[in-house]
Structure 1
Amino acid sequence: MLQASSLVDSLKRELKARGITYADLAARINMSEASVKRMFSQKNFTLQRLDEILAATQIDFRDIAFAGHDESRLISELSHAQEKEIIGDTKLFIVAVSVLNQLTLQQIVQVYRMTEAEVVKCLVRLDKIGIIELLPNNRVRLLISRTFRWIPDGPIQAHFREQAYGDYLDSQFNGDHELLRLVNVMLSKKSTAALLERLKQVAREFALQHQEDARLSFEDRYAVSILLAARPWMPKSFQAMLRDKAVPSRVVRRK
């Protein structure tokens, strides 16, 4: 049985995919925009109100019901071959990342030097790969779970490691909305495990915030990337100065 909150989240994503703002919806169902925002924020409205919204937006209940199904039915990771196909075509990769960020076809064309026909061709390929379901009027339904990730050390991560990491870190990180902290500490195994779990939680919160902000207009959102990492490490210059016989077992030397 679908949970009400999941159903509301699915409805919000479907509204976003169709470019329908809260203001648009408010006008269609004769409510104030503030009331609509409050209704979605509290995830509290009647079945009659849901029927009104679906009728006013021409959304089929199946569109939101399917998206609210058990996470186990959604994709959490692609195969090596699927990732290799995506990374092997720059335009396909651009469209894949764009739809994961919930950009519409029109917005992709607006941002990138691609024609509508080229984007549609990529959407068809992504439908065959299984990341999305391509709906009428070139609308997109994501088929990935909230825990979706690229394969560790797979084709896409390898691409970023080889080509993007240097570019990403080639910054002073002193501009607006930028932050870089490098903290070296010595922790117990228990504390390290707690730290790693916290980093995973931050990543999950980051992804959930992306879903929440998807309801905002395209002009009010911009690309933000976070890189979380933790491992036993010390600078090579430090390693060169270590006395081999005096290296405590707790200082792990790894390349």
Structure 2
Amino acid sequence: MGQLKLQKPKVIIMDVIGTAVKLGFIEKILIPYVKSDIKEYLTEKWTDKNLKKNIERMRKESEKDGESGAKIAAANAPEAEQQESVATYVLAAVDAKKESKGLQMFKFYMWFYGFEKGKLETPVYSDVPIQARKWKDMDVKLYMLSNGWTEFTKRALSKTSHGDLNLLIDGHYDSSEGQLNNKETYTKLLAKLKVKPDECLFMTKSAEAAHAAKEAGISILLVLTHRKNIEKLTEEEKQMPRIRSFNELEFSSKEGGGEGAAQPPAEANA
């Protein structure tokens, strides 16, 4: 594999899952944790105001399901009955891949608990902290852009397989700025960061997100570790500059982006 040399940007923006954090983090680690530890979490945090708020949200959502689906017991029901009904509802919803505000916030706060108790650790690619430290030494700012919630990203990156990555990150943004496949999201983000499009590099696993960032004038770089994901690209997407590892990326001392600079050598596409 060859090196890809780009002009040094002032700012790097990257998405999280699949770029910095290993693919499968949610399906292989976070969801199984919910299934295995939900009763412990409910017992330990039962009086917590955020838990109570999220249970009330889910209770209202469960009532809207009508006769179908599990129901959460009334707030005046015995504590044990309430806890059992919450666990039943959440596990059924997770298995059915149900999405709702209450359920999502419940999971977020349960994962926060897991990080605090040392039961969860975020698996990051080993090349990420190595290169992020180099970029910091080069005075390149690093920002994370997530489809999820900023608070979760911060918590997850504070407890990783390579320590607290937040020490290397200058800021976090999420989909409250807009969808990652929307050009306006990146235009808005550039304004907040007070940088020009050609001073910014966006690193992502998503060709769709890369296309949107490119429309906003930002230099782009696909990060695709697995060959199967490369094979899924269209012929047009395969022309986008890409790397398999952050270690393949090298910056020249001159600042700026530049569309012409972001072209990978043939061996980097292999």
Please say whether Structure 1 and Structure 2 have the same fold, judged by a TM-score greater than 0.5.
no
Q: TM-score range by the shorter chain?
A: under 0.3
More helix by share: 1
Larger radius of gyration: 1
- Give the TM-score normalised by structure 2: 0.22
Higher-strand-fraction structure: 2
